[in-house]
């Protein structure tokens, strides 16, 4: 049976001493062991008596508590009865720790201003790439609008998750904001303004893999409305996705040089799985590719005239919301192209090569999804004059 823990100091002789001292005075104060070593029994007893006198006097001062303080202590002990081993002292220490943490933290908006200045300094020195600050600025703005001057340590994972969930944006944009929020709160953690990163508790927005899940095909009317809603800068990209079945992650890597007169070359540097393929430019698509540029197909940031995925995301979100396509039916352009091309041409092998799929997937998943009448309307879509 284990020896009971002494709640006042007890003097014992130890067979194995500590630094040549064999007498010790031991007690458990607030559940924590306190141990002191002495050269002689007399010294250990004198120390123990003095400390025990202090402990006894401290206990006698409990009578100085007011009636409300004693009642409050009793209620606290009743609450803790279901948590063996936790004392009022433990709770007091934890409260002080939390209070000190809050006092060491700072308002979110103030921290974001400081963090933005830090990133700008790194950009100026060449440590960070020039676009790193522009990419994260939108998340700064949204966090400030939601939480303002709230103390960093008071912002909970649940609040951040609601903030992300309420955004009327595409899944890819939510993923981007979550990633930047994770970076921001990690920076606050490194500065010891928070103990843990609340964004880590928010499940990442993963979505489904590219060719899995329910196949959603857009109607010709939906495609027409979307193309009409799209900014002129990205309308050709929507056309490439819709009428050639090119994946968006492939489109983002393309240049206008990859788009020939009669075909689109999806090279190994672009293609998913690094498998090169060629997609013919059908007459429907050709009508949307009249105004060609040079370099990346991505829209440009007007001030710097450089390609921007961020601007693409912004323009896509506006167009898809205007067309009533949020939440976004994943891979619907690719599914639409394969379904309508198969309904019109009835050539599984050809469509499989163009889309980078196997013939079996084309046959099992896309056959008879749309009617020939719908396919005729789809391929008759044209730019508005």
pLDDT digits (tens, 9 = 90+) for 50-98: 887 776 665 555 556 677 776 777 787 777 777 777 777 777 777 766 6
Q: Within its chain, how far is the Cα of 350 from the centroid?
A: 40
d(C-alpha 95, C-alpha 90), whole Å: 9
Rounded distance, CA 65 to CA 62, Å?
Answer: 6
pTM strictly above 0.85? no
pLDDT of res. 203: 81
Residue 124's H or E segment, with its range, is helix 108-125
Q: Is residue 191 part of a domain?
A: yes
Q: What is the pLDDT of residues 135-156, one digit of tens each?
A: 788 899 999 999 999 999 889 9
Residues 244, 246, 250: CA angle, nearest 5 degrees: 150
Which of 148, 156, 155, 163 is CA-nearest to residue 110?
148
State the total domains in the chain: 3
231 vs 314: CA distance, rounded Å: 11
Give, as one character, the DSSP assignment of residue 4: P
Q: What is the mean pLDDT of residues 179-208?
A: 85
Pairwise CA distance, residues 331 & 211, whole Å: 7
Same domain, 183 and 284: no
Please report, for the domain that includes residue 196, its CATH number: 1.10.150.130
Edge-first strand listing for the sheet containing 10-18:
10-18, 21-29, 32-38
Structural domain contains residue 79 = no
Residue 124 token pair: 């100026």
Structural domain for 351, as ranges: 220-379
pLDDT band at 209, cuts 50/70/90?
very low
Same domain as 333, residue 236: yes
Tell me the pLDDT of the chain averaged across its residues: 84
Find the largest Cα–Cα distance for the chain: 105
Residue 235 sits in the same domain as residue 343: yes
- 326 & 248 share domain: yes
| Domain-located, residue 230 | yes
């Amino acid at each position: 049976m284990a020896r009971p823990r002494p709640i006042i100091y007890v003097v014992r002789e130890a067979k194995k001493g500590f630094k040549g001292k064999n007498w010790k005075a031991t007690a458990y104060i607030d559940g924590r062991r306190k141990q002191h070593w002495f050269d002689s029994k007399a010294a250990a007893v004198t120390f123990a008596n003095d400390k025990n006198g202090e402990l006894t006097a401290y206990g006698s001062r409990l009578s100085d508590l007011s009636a409300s303080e004693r009642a409050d202590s009793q209620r606290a002990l009743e609450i803790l009865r279901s948590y063996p081993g936790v004392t009022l002292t433990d709770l007091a220490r934890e409260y002080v720790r939390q209070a000190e943490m809050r006092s060491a933290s700072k308002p979110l908006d103030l921290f974001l201003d400081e963090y933005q200045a830090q990133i700008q300094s790194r950009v100026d020195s060449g440590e960070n790439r020039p676009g790193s600050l522009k990419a994260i600025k939108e998340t700064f703005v949204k966090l400030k609008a939601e939480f303002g001057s709230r103390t960093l340590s008071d912002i909970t994972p649940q609040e951040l998750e609601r903030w992300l969930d309420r955004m009327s944006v595409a899944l890819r944009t939510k993923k981007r904001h979550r990633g930047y929020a994770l970076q921001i709160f990690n920076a606050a953690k490194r500065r010891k303004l928070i103990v843990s990163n609340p964004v880590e508790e928010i499940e990442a927005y993963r979505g489904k893999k590219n060719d899995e899940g329910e196949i959603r095909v857009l109607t010709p009317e939906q495609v027409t409305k979307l193309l009409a809603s799209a900014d002129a800068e990205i309308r050709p990209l929507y056309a490439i996705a819709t009428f050639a079945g090119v994946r968006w992650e492939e489109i983002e890597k393309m240049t206008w040089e990859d788009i020939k007169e009669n075909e689109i070359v999806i090279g190994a540097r672009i293609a998913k799985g690094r498998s090169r393929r060629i997609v013919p430019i059908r007459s429907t698509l050709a009508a949307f590719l009249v105004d060609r540029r040079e370099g990346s197909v991505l829209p440009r940031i007007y001030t710097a005239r450089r390609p921007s995925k961020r601007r693409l995301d912004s323009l896509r979100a506006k167009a898809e919301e205007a067309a009533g396509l949020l939440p976004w039916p994943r891979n619907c352009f690719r599914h639409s192209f394969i379904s309508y091309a198969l309904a019109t041409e009835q050539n599984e092998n050809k469509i499989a090569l163009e889309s980078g799929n196997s013939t079996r997937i084309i046959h099992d998943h896309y056959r008879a999804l749309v009617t020939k009448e719908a396919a005729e309307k789809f391929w008759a879509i044209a730019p508005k004059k």
